Amino acid sequence: MKKLLLLHLFVGLFCLPYLIVYTLDGVRSGHRNWFHHKQTVVEHRLELRSDSIEAMAQELAQEHGIRGELRSGDDRERFWLEANLVGYEVEVVSPHTVIVKENRRGMVQTSHFLHTTAGFQHDFWPTRLWSFMVIVVSLGLILLGLSGLWLWVPRLKERRLGIIFLSVSLGYAFTCLVLIFTA
């Protein structure tokens, strides 16, 4: 029982910073007008040797330090390199000339980028790391809940109050799930 208690404690301490960030981000999402949206855009005109979008993105990364995950639009005249804090919009002006718009994101834009990014199929390693940490913290929270239930069951005095809190919590969670999937 003592090992389970230590596991519960350490998993909780590991997940705590992520829960704090998640809470602050929830407040930020719910009250956008409380926060200032700081975003700066800087333009660069560059001459490249490459012709294709993939080769241009690789040349920009290797020779100019402009890195990120490649996202291309429907037309072959524009593509994006997305990183966590910086986004680059690259407009192809002529076959070997591009205009790079460096978009330095503020807290709001970075948070939105992290929430809309999914999976591991990203070229940018910090984005893959973020995806991995989301899974680790999610599994940690499940482990925290299960170990908490296991530690709670033997406590007879707190069982009634715990059942009330657990029922209210599960009722709220299932109500939210129903509203999400039916809306």
Q: How many CB atoms lie within 10 A of CB 177?
A: 10
Q: What's the CA gap between 57 and 68, in Å, rounded? A: 9
**pLDDT tens, position by position, 132-171:** 888 999 999 999 999 988 888 887 777 788 888 889 999 9
Q: How many CB atoms lie within 10 A of CB 26?
A: 10
Highest-confidence segment of 73-82, 119-128, 147-156, 166-175: 166-175
pTM over 0.95: no
Q: Let me know if 99 is exposed, middle or buried by CB neighbors in 10 A (0-12, 13-18, 19+).
A: middle
Segments making up each domain of the chain, as ranges? 2-34+111-182, 40-104
Helix count and strand count (H, E) for the chain: 5, 5
Note the pLDDT of residue 14: 94
Q: What's the CA gap between 50 and 46, in Å, rounded? A: 12
